[in-house]
């Protein structure tokens, strides 16, 4: 009996989730900074791609906050009623992030199509600067979360938040370069549509 109890205790310990809250705190701080910087950039330039990426960054920051709460709840001990503790919250957290991302992606797609036919003038230099700021910060977040992305669904969702936002920032940079070198302002709307195309299937 003693051996059996010991084996059960060892199995339970092995099944406990790791504590990834430090990585999530760092990634959340970076994402929140990105969201603020890109919101300023979107307001300053009027870029739809930057605005879409700002919405994406805000959702990412919210998603990381949800992931942080989930990571905290997942560490609660199991009870007779909840034999796996609160570890199911990782699935609920991922679902919440997906639903919000669907909303952002849908808005970007609709607005992007409208702007294709009437693209506004975009100050490409400012757009490029804010795109580079966003990409640089996202790379930091990727490096922070990369090592723990396979730990559970919650951490995987958090990693994908930052990775896809980095791709969105890259789209903003490419659009800014195209506008600056060719004067093709519809590149902004095209970049927004590409960001939406990243968001919706991922969600």
Number of structural domains found in the chain: 1
Residue 84's φ and ψ, nearest 5 degrees, are -110, 20
**CATH, residue 37:** 1.20.1510.10
Residue 177 has pLDDT above 90, yes or no: yes
Q: Could you list the residue range(s) of the whole structural domain that residue 46 is in?
A: 20-202
Return the top range by mean pLDDT from 34-43, 56-65, 77-86: 34-43
Span 117-141, mean pLDDT? 87
Tell me, yes or no, whether 9 lies in a domain: no
Per-chain mean pLDDT for the chain: 78
DSSP 46: -
pLDDT of residue 175: 92
Could you tell me which residue, 42 or 75, shows the higher pLDDT? 42
- Which regions of the chain does DSSP assign to beta strands (E)? none
Tell me, yes or no, whether 99 lies in a domain: yes
Q: Let me know: does 124 contact 46? Beta carbons within 8 Å.
A: no
pLDDT of residue 181: 92
Q: In whole angstroms, what is the distance from residue 99 CA to residue 41 CA?
A: 26
Q: Name 172's Cβ contacts closer than 8 Å, sequence gap at least 6.
A: 47, 49, 50, 53, 127, 130, 131, 134, 191
Tell me, yes or no, whether 34 lies in a domain: yes
Q: In whole angstroms, what is the distance from residue 180 CA to residue 144 CA?
A: 33
Q: In whole angstroms, what is the distance from residue 4 CA to residue 129 CA?
A: 62
Q: In whole angstroms, what is the distance from residue 59 CA to residue 203 CA?
A: 12
- Provide the token pair at 163: 């990775």
Could you tell me which residue, 66 or 39, shows the higher pLDDT? 39
Tell me, yes or no, whether 143 lies in a domain: yes
Tell me, yes or no, whether 1 lies in a domain: no
pLDDT of residue 178: 93
Query: Over the stretch 68-83, which tens digit does the pLDDT of each residue have?
Result: 777 777 677 666 776 6
Tell me, yes or no, whether 42 lies in a domain: yes
Could you tell me which residue, 14 or 28, shows the higher pLDDT? 28
């Amino acid at each position: 009996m003693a051996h059996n109890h010991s084996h059960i205790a060892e199995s339970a310990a092995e099944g406990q989730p790791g504590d990834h809250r430090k990585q999530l705190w760092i990634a959340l701080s970076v994402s929140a900074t990105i969201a603020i910087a890109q919101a300023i950039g979107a307001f300053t330039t009027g870029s739809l791609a930057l605005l879409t990426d700002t919405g994406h960054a805000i959702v990412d920051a919210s998603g990381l906050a949800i992931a942080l709460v989930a990571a905290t709840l997942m560490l609660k001990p199991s009870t007779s009623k909840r034999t796996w503790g609160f570890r199911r919250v990782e699935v609920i957290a991922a679902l919440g992030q997906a639903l919000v991302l669907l909303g952002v992606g849908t808005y970007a797609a609709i607005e992007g199509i409208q702007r294709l036919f009437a693209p506004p003038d975009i100050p490409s230099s400012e757009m490029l600067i804010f795109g580079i700021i966003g990409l640089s910060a996202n790379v930091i977040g990727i490096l922070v979360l990369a090592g723990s992305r396979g730990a559970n669904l919650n951490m995987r969702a958090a990693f994908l938040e930052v990775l896809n936002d980095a791709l969105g920032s890259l789209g903003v940079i490419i659009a800014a370069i195209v506008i600056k070198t060719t004067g093709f302002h519809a590149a902004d709307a095209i970049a927004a549509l590409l960001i939406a195309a990243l968001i919706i299937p991922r969600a």
